[in-house]
Amino acid sequence: MQITVKNQLFSSATLTIETGAIIGITGRNGAGKSTLLHLIHEQVASTLVAQDSEKLAVDFTTNVSAALSNWQLPKRSYDTLSGGERVKMRLAQAFASQQSLLLLDEPTNHLDSASVAQLIAQIKASKQTFIIVSHDRYFLDSVVDTIWAIDHSTITTVDGDYSHYTAWRENQRALQAQHYATQQKQIARVEQQLSELDDWSANMHKESTAKHHPKAMGAKEYYRAIAKRADKQVKSKRKKLERYLAVNRVEAVKKDTPIHFALNTAKPIGKRIVALEDFSLDCLQHCHLVVTRGEKLHIKGANGAGKSTLLRAIYQHAPGIFVSEAASIGYLSQSVYDLPLDLTLAHYFNYDNSEQEGLIRTQLALLGFTTNHWHTMIGDLSMGERIKVKIAAFIFEERDVLLLDEPTNHLDLPSCEQLEATLANYEGTIIFVSHDRYFSEKIATRQVTIEQGTIHLPKTAPTDDILALETERQAVLGKLSFAKPSSDEYHKLDEQFTNLTTRINALK
């Protein structure tokens, strides 16, 4: 089956959807990935699983009930479910639809590792056709056989998984840069020849009008004839160059917009930042925890365990939770709907003069926003762009305590990598929830687990043993960052990194 799609975000493209294919759509935040899914949904009979949905009407048919059971999800009202459970509910309803084409928009967002593994297995076992938007490279490598890449407003189809695509793109860009450099040298050589002919022609024209040549000798006519031949050669060579470039012009490689931002703390505060003393709320019972200044605490747990509930309780200073009075807290919720969707960026951010406006717009540009975004409604931004708006607010507010609930959800890979680097250097305190294994490993200085309704602190272990393993793991991580994702070396290092992480976690 072939469909033609066109939108202001990308050029018109005719795309082929083979029966049983598993297609991954990649691209930066705002490139038009979700838009492409909706365009396909409008043209082809399909079931669409959106990134986030505040409401969902669920008809608990036999098929849906069986799918919910497969996901170990109870029949509960959608608005009472956690973020991960809501994703499972949407996925269960989609798989139960028996539709031959499923469109999944960031299906691994909010899911714990066990649920991601279950989703991978279910997709692989299915005979349905899938088109999937995802920034999770490991998930894409596990399931897809084709990539549709939206890159600089162009959709390109590449057979293979995500790692194959990244290697292909890198190779294509290198070849393009090489061909561009060769062509520029060729153009420079021709232009030099044209310049020399122009100079020669000018000299001949000058000689043809010189007074020192006797009329009888015909010198002026001679030089005038030479000048005309030179002019013809210049015109001929220039037309030849223009015809060649019209067919064979190689454009310079378009640079990817760099993502950059930094977070500063407002002021030094006391050592004890957050403390829970026999705290109980909803599914959480008799919880004890102390978080000190500068810690980066990772809260682990299965979907529905109560991780988001705990973050909200800390932010709201719920009874039974001590929060330092000096702490300035920034809270990044999972939801992308808690922003004022009817405001433009120009009206959302507060500024008193043109200088402050300039600083805000400069920072937004570093986050990947363009000039056109300034007057765009927040409701018209992509999910990833909305997360960046929240991050921008943290930058301007200089919070010294950050509560982050799945901060990498919806973000493209360059933004995730920059967020990792920024949070690693952040001097404040971070309490975060994330199912992104690599993000968590790079950021966390300590971790706790919510299991069976309470917080479990890590077991103590010989410090020297843990230190030795962590040193070895850091060395592997350094090598991993330089290896190509498609190489055998990368997969060996990734396996070694996973084994070391498992051993370290077992000791903690």
Distance from the Cα of residue 34 to its chain's centroid: 13
Token pair in block for residue 296: 């980066």
Q: Find the mean pLDDT for residues 177-193.
A: 82
Match 């009817």 to its residue by tokens. 342
In order, the DSSP letters of 9-77 are TEEEEEEE--TT-EEEEEE-TTSSHHHHHHHHHHHS--EEE-S--S-------HHHHHHHHHTT--S--
Name the E strands within 221-283.
272-281
Mean pLDDT of 393-417: 84
The CA-based angle 362-368-371, given to 5 degrees, is: 60
Higher pLDDT, residue 414 or 290: 290
The mean pLDDT of 369-375, rounded to a whole number, is 89
Backbone Cα Rg of the chain? 30
Residue that is written with structure tokens 């015909």 in the block: 218
CA distances from 143 to 40, 114, 136, 220 (A): 20, 16, 11, 79
In this structure, of 63-77, 213-227, 306-320, the range with the lowest mean pLDDT score is 213-227
User: Between the CA of residue 175 and those of 47, 172, 220, 249, what are the distances in Å?
Assistant: 39, 5, 52, 14
Indicate the average pLDDT of the chain. 83
299 by DSSP, 3-state: which? strand
pLDDT band at 57 (very low <50, low <70, confident <90, very high): confident
Which has more pLDDT, 247 or 126?
A: 126
Most confident stretch, 79-88, 264-273, 302-311: 302-311
Contact 35, 154 (CB under 8 A): no
Residue 475's pLDDT band (cuts 50, 70, 90) = confident
Amino acid, res. 303: N
pLDDT of residue 312: 92
Q: How far is CA 110 from CA 65, 146, 374, 432, 501, in A?
A: 22, 24, 29, 13, 22
Element containing residue 271 per DSSP (H, E): none
**What integer is the mean pLDDT of 454-474?**
70
DSSP 126-140: --SEEEEE---HHHH
Cβ atoms of residues 105 and 34 within 8 Å: yes
Phi, psi of 311 (to 5 degrees): -60, -45
> Is 290 in contact with 277 (CB distance < 8 Å)?
no
pLDDT at 87 over 80: yes
CA distances (Å), 339 to each of 84, 296, 344, 377, in order? 20, 26, 11, 11
From the list 59, 53, 61, 97, the residue with the least C-alpha distance to 79 is 53
Q: Are 406 and 435 in contact (CB under 8 A)?
A: yes
The runs of H, that is alpha helices, within 137-161 are: 137-143
Confidence of residue 481 (pLDDT cuts 50, 70, 90): low
Share of the chain above pLDDT 90, in %: 19
What pLDDT is recorded for position 432?
A: 95
Q: CA–CA separation, 128 vs 338, rounded Å?
A: 35
- Asked if residue 278 lies in contact with residue 286, where contact means CB atoms within 8 angstroms, the answer is yes
Is residue 457 very low, low, confident or very high in pLDDT (cuts 50, 70, 90)? confident
Q: Is the sign of the CA dihedral 135, 140, 142, 143 positive or negative?
A: positive
Phi/psi of residue 431, nearest 5 degrees: -120, 120
Task: Look at residue 299 and tell me whether its pLDDT is greater than 80.
Answer: yes
Mean pLDDT of 117-146: 90
CA torsion sign, 68 to 69 to 75 to 81? negative
- Between 377 and 55, the higher pLDDT residue: 377
pLDDT at 63: 80
133 touches 106 (CB < 8 A): yes
pLDDT band at 269 (very low <50, low <70, confident <90, very high): low
